[in-house]
Amino acid sequence: MVTGDNLQTAKAIALECGILKSDADATEPNLIEGKRFRALSEEDRKEVAEKISVWNETRLFLVVQQGFSSLLNSHHVQVMGRSSPNDKLLLVQALRSKGHVVAVTGDGTNDAPALHEADIGLAMGIQGTEVAKESSDIIILDDNFASVVKVVRWGRSVYANIQKFIQFQLTVNVAALIINVVAAVSAGDVPLNAVQLLWVNLIMDTLGALALATEPPTDHLMRRAPVGRREPLVTNIMWRNLLIQALYQVTVLLILNFRGEQILHLEHETREHAVKVKNTLIFNAFVLCQVFNEFNARKPDEINVFRGVHKNRLFISIIGFTLVLQVIIIFFLGKFVSTVRLSWQLWLVSIVIGLISWPLAALGKLIPVPEKPFGDYFSKKLPRRRNQQECS
C-alpha cells in the first residue's frame, strides 16, 4: 500500500485491512516513509522495491491455494506512507526495471503519474478524478477492489482462449500441409483439393474461433501462475499437444492415401471410383479429427476435456452445425467438392479415426514438458552466428 497519508494513518488502515498483522509488524522494513525511499540511490530503491508488493509465481500460487494469510506471513508486503506522486512513480519505475509487471490502483490526481507509468493502471470510477481516469487503462466503475479479481479472471480467460485457438489452428495447418506436400511429391496427386481445404479453413478460422473464443472463465485459470512479460504465446504444452495430434493425423491419413485401396478392399472397383472413395474417406476423417480435436483444445493442460462443456451452449451448437454441414457435403455436394457418398462402414471408420484423438490427447498430457520454452534453445544460437558474421 502506497499512500500520501502520514505513517500513523497508513499503519491504522494497513492493520484494519490485514496488510499488517500486528503492531510488531508496523516497523521497517514493513513500514517505510516516502522521503526515506526517495532519498535512496537508484540501486537501493530497486532493492526496496523488490520487497514491496512483488508477487512472483510461487507466492501467487500459495495465496490462491492457502489464502491471503500465506502472503502476510511472507514479510514481503510493505506500506509506504507520506509518499509524494514522484515516490509512487519511482516505485513503479523501479519495479518495472526489475522485469515485473506492475498494476497500480488510484483515484487522485497525485496518482496519475504512477497510473500512466504502470503496465496496468486502474482508476476508481466514482471517487476518481478525471486526471486519474485519463491516465489509467481500466476504470473500476463500482469503486470495489473485488472487481479487480474479475478483471484478472476475464483477462486470463481471453488470453487462454487465444492460446486454445492457436493450438487448434496450428494443428490443422501442420497436418493439412504435410499430408498434401508428401502426397504431391511422392504420388503427384493430393488427397485434399482446394474446395475441401476451403471448407477446412472455414471450420478452423470462423467456426473454430467462435467456439473456442466463447469459453467462459474458470477457477482453474485463477490457480495458474501468472504469465511473465517475456513468456511466449505458444507454450511448450501447446507444442506437445499439437505435435501429437498432427503426427497422429498425418500418419493415419497418409497410410490411407498410399494403402487405402488395399485396406478398404477397393481393388475390384474402377481406378477412378476407388481413388474418389479413398480421397473422400481421407477428407471426411480429416474433418472429424478436427471436430474431436476441438474438444481437446478446450483444455490444453487438463485430461478431462469435457468439464464444463455443457455450460457453453454455443460451443455445442457449433460442433453440431459443423457435423450437419459435413454430412450435407458428403451426401449432396459431391460434384462441387469432388466427393462420393460413403457407406455406413466408412462413416464408422471416419468416426473411429477422429475418436482416437481423445484418449491420445489424454495420454499425451501425461508426458512432461521442459520449463524452458522451446524458442530459447534457438534464440541463443542466433546472436552467436550474427556476431561471428560481424567479426568476419
CATH of the domain at 328: 1.20.1110.10
Same domain for 311 and 173: yes
Last residue of a domain, one of 147, 173, 191: 147
Final residue of a domain: which of 147, 178, 195?
147
The Cα–Cα gap between 389 and 153 comes to 47
Do 224 and 316 lie in one domain? The reply is yes
How far CA 20 is from CA of 68, 204, 233, 381, in Å, comes to: 12, 51, 37, 48
Domain count, the chain: 2
Residue 256 forms part of a structural domain: yes
Tell me phi and psi for residue 129, to 5 degrees: -80, 165
- The answer to whether residues 195 and 314 belong to one domain is yes
162 and 99 fall within a common domain: no
Per-residue pLDDT of the chain (392 residues; tens, 9 = 90+): 888 888 888 888 888 877 777 777 777 767 888 888 888 888 888 877 776 644 333 333 333 333 344 344 444 447 888 888 888 888 888 888 888 888 898 888 888 999 999 998 999 989 889 999 999 999 999 888 788 888 889 989 999 999 999 999 999 999 999 999 999 998 888 889 999 999 888 877 788 888 898 888 888 888 888 887 778 889 999 999 999 999 999 999 999 999 988 888 887 888 888 999 999 999 999 999 999 999 999 999 899 999 888 888 999 999 999 999 999 999 998 888 889 999 999 999 999 999 999 999 999 999 998 888 877 776 655 454 444 454 44
Instruction: Indicate whether 170 and 104 sit together in one domain.
Output: no
For residue 29, whether the previous peptide bond is cis, meaning omega lies within 30 degrees of 0, is yes
Instruction: Give yes or no: residues 27 and 118 share one domain.
Output: yes
What H or E segment, with its residue span, contains residue 124? strand 120-124
Residues 94 and 236 in one domain: no
> CB within 8 A of 279, min separation 6: which ones?
191, 192, 338, 339
* 377 assigned to some structural domain: no
Domain boundary among 117, 147, 177: 147
Residue 63 lies in a domain: no
Residues 348 and 227 in one domain: yes
Q: In what order do the strands lie in the sheet with 103-106?
A: 103-106, 120-124, 138-140
Angle between helices 344-355 and 271-298 in degrees, nearest 10: 40
User: 36: how many CB neighbours lie within 10 A of its CB?
Assistant: 13
CA 266 vs CA 140, 272, 280, 335: distances in Å: 66, 11, 13, 21
**SS3 (DSSP) at 81:** strand
Q: What is the pTM of this model?
A: 0.79
Terminal alpha carbon distance of the chain: 54
Is 241 strand, coil or helix?
helix
What DSSP line would sit under 38-55, residue for residue?
HHS-HHHHHHHHTTSS--
Q: Which domain holds residue 365?
A: 153-371
Q: Which of 354, 375, 380, 56 is nearest to 238 (CA)?
A: 375
Q: Quick one: 236 and 163 in the same domain?
A: yes
The reply to whether 46 and 192 lie within a common domain is no
Q: How far apart are CA 324 and CA 342, in angstroms?
A: 15
